[in-house]
Chains A and B, each alone.
Chain A
């Protein structure tokens, strides 16, 4: 799975360079998050701007990330497409994640905290 990341202060910005997070890719996404958290990154912003489709396995992988960083960590999502947003609304995951339109906004809001 193609994920490029860069550090912004205490935040890790992970850009998912894939069109889909689905059953074929969810395990790789979970491994990526697990590895990062295992190495100490617990404030992660995931940029989903390029992602056009998420299925229930992909959604489960994102929930895994949220749980993996823990209650005092951060697992924010950026740039949800209309299709992905509809899935989040349907499954009420829009109440679960911190969602931002852009990486800049997510970084600005969470840099101080």
Chain B
């Protein structure tokens, strides 16, 4: 089984639920509930990130989502034309381990968790920025379902 599905959504946080539901619907045909949760979580964080930090919550810009399905993995690309994510932010996310002291309220994070959640939810995360736009590629390996 293979194929691809493309979605495009306006840069409006109220519309991210539509992307989430579409991605969830496609992935539920292919993967376990737990895997689908992880993909939905990562896609929502990625699209939110583009809208909030890339476009500064300014409506009227496109966020493009593409799902490529193979027998053993689902690859999701998030494309945008916003200013690129700073490298320092990517490095910080890669190092995030949620190893805060739970007894110390001041240490418990309230923000800055999105990229770390993406990294922990997916098997591979790549980001590239070019003059024609940015692409976050997220890959989730999926165990073969019976009969596939």
A59 CA to B102 CA, complexed, in Å: 15
Which of A55, A82, A86, A90 gathers most chain B CB within 10 Å?
A: A55
Q: B102, A92: Cβ atoms under 8 Å?
A: yes
Residues of A within 8 A of B34 (CB): 82, 86
Given contacts A60-B113, A64-B110, contact A55 B44 (CB under 8 A): yes
User: In the bound complex, do residue B17 and residue A22 qualify as a contact, i.e. CB atoms below 8 Å apart?
Assistant: yes
A64 CA to B34 CA in the complex, in Å? Answer: 27
Chain A CB within 8 A of B72 CB: no
What is the size, in residues, of chain B's interface with A at 8 Å between Cβ atoms? 31
Cβ contacts under 8 Å, A56 to chain B: 45, 48, 111, 113-114, 117
Q: Are B105 and A66 in contact (CB under 8 A)?
A: yes
Say yes or no for A100: interface residue by CB 8 A criterion: no
Complex CA distance for A94 and B135, rounded to whole angstroms? 33
Q: Is B98 an interface residue (CB 8 A)?
A: yes
Contacting pair B16 A53 (CB below 8 A)? no
User: Chain A: how many interface residues by the 8 Å CB criterion?
Assistant: 25
B120 an interface residue at 8 Å Cβ cutoff? yes
The interface residues of chain A, by DSSP majority, are classed as helix
A87 contact set on B, CB distance < 8 A? 41, 117
Q: Name the contact of A96 in the complex, choosing from B14, B38, B108, B120 (C-beta under 8 A).
A: B108
Assess the B113–A71 pair: CB atoms within 8 A: no
Q: How far is the CA of A91 from the CA of B108 in the complex (A)?
A: 10
Chain B CB within 10 Å — which of A20, A91, A92, A93 has the most?
A91
Instruction: Give min CB distance, A5 to chain B, whole Å.
Output: 23
Cβ–Cβ contact A53 & B20, under 8 A: yes
Cβ-based interface call for B142 (8 A): no
- List 26 A-B pairs, Cβ < 8 Å: A20-B17, A22-B17, A24-B13, A24-B14, A24-B16, A24-B17, A53-B44, A55-B44, A55-B48, A55-B114, A56-B111, A56-B113, A56-B117, A59-B113, A60-B109, A63-B108, A67-B110, A82-B33, A83-B33, A90-B98, A90-B121, A91-B116, A91-B117, A92-B99, A93-B108, A96-B102
Given contacts A22-B16, A57-B114, A63-B108, 6 further A-B contacts (CB under 8 A): A22-B44, A24-B13, A55-B44, A56-B111, A56-B114, A83-B33
- B binding-site residues for A, Cβ under 8 Å: 13-14, 16-17, 20, 33-34, 37-38, 40-41, 44-45, 48, 51-52, 98-100, 102, 105, 108-111, 113-114, 116-117, 120-121
